[in-house]
Structure 1
Amino acid sequence: MADNVEKMLYSLVDEFLVYLESVRGLSANSIRTYRNDLNHLMEQLGREKSVAEITVVDLRNCIAWLSARKLSSASVNSFIAAVRTFFAYCRKFGYIETNVALELKTIKMPQHMPRFLTAPEVDELCRQPVVNELLWQKRDAAIFEMLYSSGCRVSEIVSLKIHDLQNGNSSAIITGKGNKDRRVYFEEDARNALALYLEDRKDRFHREGIEDRTPEVFVNQSGGALTAGGVRYILSRYTGSEGTKHHVSPHALRHTFATSMLSKGADVRVVQEMLGHASISTTQRYTHITTERLIDIYNRAHPHGKK
């Protein structure tokens, strides 16, 4: 065992999180998720529990405790994945002799169809900043168009910097999950909306005497970089009672991009690359959605469909 010293749970969790950030290069969001999951472990077993004394029964009791607290299947599986990774780290560096977490199995996830928008719904959403004077109209229109055009995650769109834009703002290189770079594309409506916003941004800050040095494409009204939470708030305003009255999340636009591409005949591996999915199986679920969508349209449109 490393240094022949039994390590307490809290001490190894702190060490593990530093390792994930400094060696593995995980994002702040990923580190936060690991910390929250491992806090559940410490809450249930005690911060000063010796890691070497933790048994698979202890871990299964933690899972049962989380389930009793009505956490979602996804949250419980996130906890299991975090514990597995943590114990693999402990085994790798000799803090434990046996990795008991290898015996843990994830729980079955309910199958949910990702929320996506129809073409008229996308048009209505992208029109909202034009007709509703809610926040920063040109910026918000550009955000909606670029999310839908590229299939970017909200974390990726807020991290996009002006120098990342290429080929007349028709594409960009972004860094996605796992620090993997990929190219995304912006069609004409998105490029036009972006051009109007960038010009308006320059004029606005010039008028207000704000020095615009923020490298990110999307900024808040004070000139700082817009956050993922900021984008969610913007969408909530335009899809709430003041707008379409049908709540939409940023991820719904990513789902819509994927289903639109596949329903128009795009190869699933091309869509996988555009979305930045590590596994083709993640992308393939959208092929099931488009099939179900076609069946639903058929059943509603065909005279004998409802029979």
Structure 2
Amino acid sequence: MNRDAQLRTYEKIEEKIRELPWYVAEFIQKKMRTMSPATLLNYCHDYLIFFDWLVAEGFWTGHRRDVPLDTLEKLTVPQIEDFLSYLQFRLDNTPLTVNRKISALKSLFHYLQNIAETDDLEPYLTRNVMAKIELNAVKEDQETIAQKMAGKILWHEEYEQFRRFVAHDYGVLVQDNKKLFNFYQRNRERDTAIISLILGSGLRLSEVVGLDIDDLDLKKFSARVIRKGNKEQYVFFSEQALLDLKEYLAVRKQKYQLDDKTRALFVSSPMGPKGASRRMTPRAVEKMVEKYAKAFGKPALSVHKLRHSFATRYHAENNDVPKLRRQLGHASIQTTMIYTHLTNDELKKAVDKMDQNKAL
């Protein structure tokens, strides 16, 4: 996430914590040094839902920001279970989403009980109900998740087919629709560069939209990104991604009417009364990928599935999990191990081929 995007996120966080109790605001501000702004903003959303529920259920009469600490201290396990049922059945949250909210609350309650102190050196909370709450058991193992993912990513020749579709074939498909064709022609190089970069590096959506011109090192085939946890890292990309980036950079300034002050790498077409271009938003990139994926015949393909596609191809060709983990920016190697399950079919084919050669 670039500095401008970080500042905008911090502004949103400040706006949210004004609607939350003072002790929640204190917790968020303490965490700003160690947690990413995107994670903290998600925490704020989760806390707003929780405190709104407390008010709606009558645990406190008044505004959510005035909920006192003793209200939290008196909460029981059955009451928290009611909240989790509310998340699952009323808000239609998945077990993984509920787990994220449980984790957010556990972090807050842990801070209030074990870290924060009054002037008398007493903890804010002496009783922590969230310590008694277990995370949902997510029953799917990595192999099951991998098999579900397998039909939604690109395989083998599909990598280049999809890249070429964005770079050329989509234009042939919509050439009779003047509006669609003109929009495609205006953004063809940009869209191709984005698709090619993700397929050639495995960057996350936030990392792609956060790139500035100065983050690219075209001689070293690398890009400087800020990963989760605000960690800076240089990530390599493929030779094809380099070629597509160069083609986009050659037309970027003229096509998008940019001055030298605009450092964002991927920008939108000029819009509005002032006709100004601006950094592409994550949603704009998602919609762009969705458009091409649907036309290509793989509507389930998304930005994250392109990242999975890169990782699956990398593992199949290199079989080096530690290097893949670094390339993807995974905190845990267990997360990276899912791609070993995705390539099980490739291993089976290799074994089958050995048997066939032996028979010959």
| TM-score grouping bracket, smaller chain normalisation | 0.7 to 0.9
List gaps (5 residues or longer) in structure 1.
1-7
Question: 5 Å matches for 1:194-205?
Answer: 194-205=245-256
How far apart, CA to CA, are the structure 1 residues paired with 2:320 and 2:296?
35
Q: Which residue of 2 aligns with 1:220?
A: 268
Q: Which residue of 1 aligns with 2:259?
A: 211
Superposition deviation, residue 187 in structure 1: 1.5
Q: Which residue of 2 aligns with 1:3?
A: none
Q: Which residue of 2 aligns with 1:164?
A: 215
Deviates more, 1:242-251 or 1:30-39: 242-251
Matched, 1:181 2:223: no
Name the TM-score, length of structure 2 as normaliser: 0.73
Superposition deviation, residue 128 in structure 1: 2.3
Q: Which residue of 2 aligns with 1:5?
A: none
Q: Which residue of 1 aligns with 2:157?
A: 120
From the superposition, tell whether residues 38 and 230 of structure 1 become closer, same or farther in structure 2 (CA, over 3 Å): same
Superposition deviation, residue 298 in structure 1: 8.3
From the superposition, tell whether residues 123 and 293 of structure 1 become closer, same or farther in structure 2 (CA, over 3 Å): same
Q: Which residue of 1 aligns with 2:11?
A: none
Contact 2:316/2:346, CA 8 A, preserved across alignment: no
Contact 1:87/1:101, CA 8 A, preserved across alignment: yes
Q: Give the % identical residues.
A: 29
Q: Which residue of 2 aligns with 1:78?
A: 100
Name the TM-score, length of structure 1 as normaliser: 0.85
From the superposition, tell whether residues 108 and 25 of structure 1 become closer, same or farther in structure 2 (CA, over 3 Å): closer
How far apart, CA to CA, are the structure 2 residues paired with 1:204 and 1:9?
45
SS in 1 for 2:264: coil
1:45-68 C-alpha deviation (Å, 9 max, x unpaired): 223252232333332221122222
Over 4 Å off, 4+ runs = 292-299
1:73-126 C-alpha deviation (Å, 9 max, x unpaired): 111111111111111121210211133212221112243233421123222221
2:44 maps to amino acid = R
Matched, 1:259 2:259: no
Superposition deviation, residue 237 in structure 1: 1.4
Contact 2:293/2:302, CA 8 A, preserved across alignment: no
Question: 5 Å matches for 1:148-159?
Answer: 148-159=199-210
SS in 1 for 2:225: strand
1:65 maps to amino acid = Y
How many residues in Structure 1 have an aligned counterpart in Structure 2?
A: 288
Question: 5 Å matches for 1:1-307?
Answer: 10-21=21-32, 23-27=33-37, 29-46=38-55, 47=64, 48=67, 50-69=71-90, 70-91=92-113, 92-93=115-116, 94-111=123-140, 112-113=145-146, 114=149, 115-131=152-168, 132=171, 133=181, 134-135=183-184, 136-168=187-219, 170-205=221-256, 208=257, 210-222=258-270, 223-240=277-294, 242-292=295-345, 294-295=347-348
How far apart, CA to CA, are the structure 2 residues paired with 1:252 and 1:193?
20
List gaps (5 residues or longer) in structure 2.
1-18, 56-63, 117-122, 172-180, 271-276
How far apart, CA to CA, are the structure 2 residues paired with 1:75 and 1:109?
11
SS in 2 for 1:239: helix
SS in 2 for 1:175: strand
SS in 1 for 2:200: helix
How far apart, CA to CA, are the structure 2 residues paired with 1:150 and 1:85?
33
